[in-house]
Structure 1
């Protein structure tokens, strides 16, 4: 199985290496990755990590949603506009 990446496909070895790095950083408290779910199934991921940017320590984030669910919305009852944003 291959995962599509922004620059092409990743081999299973590269995918496992990236996963290993995510786990190591999570244990060290430097990063967190979360699963995006839709109807109980995996729909993507979102995460954040520390990095240096222009001499300052900042948090960077990245996310991905499977193509079939991009743009899908799960509208839930709420009190305001923020409660009607996409939620998976």
Structure 2
């Protein structure tokens, strides 16, 4: 009989805890919606940043390729080789 009484008390405590959690979650809906909205804005901003960074790096790569192919001072050619896609710096 004691085991049943203990089990009943434990189940009652768990039910009370569950009810408290559910009641606390009822009021947090607007906070989650705000969080998801701001996360979506952050996602789009990061995506735009990556596109702009990629375009910048492509333009910089064109400059490096042009510097590598120049005829003239050895230093300009070497600097262009240092920033080439391979990453090898040959003078």
Q: One fold, TM greater than 0.5?
A: no
Say which structure is richer in helix: 2
Which structure exhibits the higher relative contact order, with contacts defined as CA atoms closer than 8 Å and separated by 6 or more residues?
Answer: 1
So what's the TM-score if we normalise by structure 2? Answer: 0.27
Q: Normalization by structure 1: what TM-score?
A: 0.27
Whichever structure has more strand as a proportion of its residues is: 1
